[in-house]
């Protein structure tokens, strides 16, 4: 449940950094009782798992949707742990051919959990094979080509598929309908993030004070992965430039070094807002044009910056393009023009 804090000045993304996967694994909860936040999802999932255990059957397939860094992978591993089963892990982009999926399915044993991350990116041939596997626990393997091709049915062991997606709208209807339980994970409140931070600090041996935890939580974009990454960066600052304790003042100074401001905006977020306001007069402007102005790929602006800026109430998506709201102008300490969109209702990011 950790994420990218922009250690080298890059965007404060919630995407996992491969170099820190081992460290992230040590911070993951291992049981539902250890999982912090997402109370409704955990309650529903617990009922699904307990019901299946009492019936002595594999649970329904589970789909977890929501932005990166909220704990979808952790919950998938918890499902396997609660069932006492093995978990096989793959991702949608890795399943390019139906044969890739067939090989994985044929190696499952009864009760195994198959976790497919970014399942919305699975190739169409593999997805169509997955339909039959999810419903009837069998796959049809095609041998040969052309008129002489034959289909051989292959029985597979009953299993539970846990799919994770950051774009549930990109899933096809037939695939979405085959999941028996679908959960959408929400951004975290600061109070829950403080609990996450205190737990992580205990595991990592960090002297985290209550006011320091509150400060880091308030700048973590509602995302545990980001909170844990910021905690590690502030720890570095505390150990090198202070006495090692993460206090309120140390947290503020450390986060300033890593260009994370009071609302959790990083360098790229502010560059996008600044270009939108100063270069394009607050918009509307297309995302590709905005990306060129800040020297980034369109996908980076759209998938990394936009979701947070929209939830923070600083950017609005309109049919004509992206528009800066009154909050964006005020955050950049600029006079709000009369035609700027008004502030949206308060969200968890409001201070």
Kindly list the catalytic residues. 72-73, 117, 166, 225
Cβ burial of 123 (10 Å; 0-12, 13-18, 19+) is: middle
Helix (H, G, I), strand (E, B) or coil at 87: strand
Among left, alpha and beta (phi > 0; psi -120 to 50; other), residue 194 is: alpha
Strand 160-165 with 113-117, pairing: parallel
Residue 65 and residue 168 in contact, taking contact as beta carbons nearer than 8 Å: yes
Which helix or strand (DSSP H or E) is residue 229 part of?
helix 224-241
How far apart CA 82 and CA 325 sit, in angstroms, is 45
Closest to 38 in 3D by CA, of 74, 87, 77, 90: 74
> 276: which residues sit within 8 A by CB, 6+ positions away?
282, 283, 285, 290, 315, 322, 323, 324, 328
Residue 190 and residue 348 in contact, taking contact as beta carbons nearer than 8 Å: yes
Cβ burial of 298 (10 Å; 0-12, 13-18, 19+) is: middle
Neighbours of 187 (CB within 10 A): 22
Which helix or strand (DSSP H or E) is residue 37 part of?
none
Cβ burial of 115 (10 Å; 0-12, 13-18, 19+) is: buried
Sign of CA dihedral 289, 322, 257, 12: negative
């Amino acid at each position: 449940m950790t994420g990218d804090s922009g250690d080298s000045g890059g965007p404060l993304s919630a995407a996992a950094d491969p170099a820190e996967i081992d460290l992230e694994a040590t911070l993951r909860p291992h049981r539902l009782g250890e999982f912090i936040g997402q109370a409704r999802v955990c309650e529903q999932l617990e009922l699904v798992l307990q019901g299946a255990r009492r019936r002595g059957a594999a649970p329904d397939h589970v789909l977890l949707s929501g932005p990166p860094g909220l704990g979808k992978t952790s919950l998938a591993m918890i499902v396997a742990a609660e069932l006492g089963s093995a978990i096989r892990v793959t991702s949608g982009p890795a399943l390019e051919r139906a044969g890739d999926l067939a090989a994985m399915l044929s190696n499952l044993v009864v009760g195994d959990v198959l976790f497919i991350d970014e399942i919305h990116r699975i190739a169409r041939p593999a997805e169509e094979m997955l339909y039959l596997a999810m419903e009837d626990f069998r796959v049809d393997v095609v041998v040969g080509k052309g008129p002489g091709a034959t289909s051989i049915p292959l029985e597979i062991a009953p299993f539970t598929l846990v799919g994770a997606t950051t774009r549930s709208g990109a899933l096809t209807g037939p695939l979405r309908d085959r999941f028996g339980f679908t959960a959408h994970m929400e951004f975290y409140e600061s109070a829950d993030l403080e609990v996450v931070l205190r737990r992580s600090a205990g595991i990592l041996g960090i002297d985290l004070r209550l006011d320091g935890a509150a400060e880091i939580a308030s700048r973590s974009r509602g995302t545990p992965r980001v909170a844990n990454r910021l905690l590690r960066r502030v720890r570095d600052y505390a150990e090198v430039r202070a006495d090692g304790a993460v206090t309120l003042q140390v947290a503020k100074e450390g986060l300033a070094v890593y260009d994370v401001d009071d609302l959790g905006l990083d360098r790229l977020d502010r560059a996008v807002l600044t270009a939108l306001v100063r270069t394009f007069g607050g918009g509307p402007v297309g995302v590709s044009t905005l990306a060129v102005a800040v020297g980034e790929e369109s996908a980076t602006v759209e998938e990394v910056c936009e979701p947070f800026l929209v939830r923070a109430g600083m950017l609005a998506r309109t049919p004509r393009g992206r528009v800066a709201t009154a909050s964006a102008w005020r955050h950049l300490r600029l006079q709000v023009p009369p035609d700027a969109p008004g502030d949206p209702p308060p969200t968890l990011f409001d201070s």
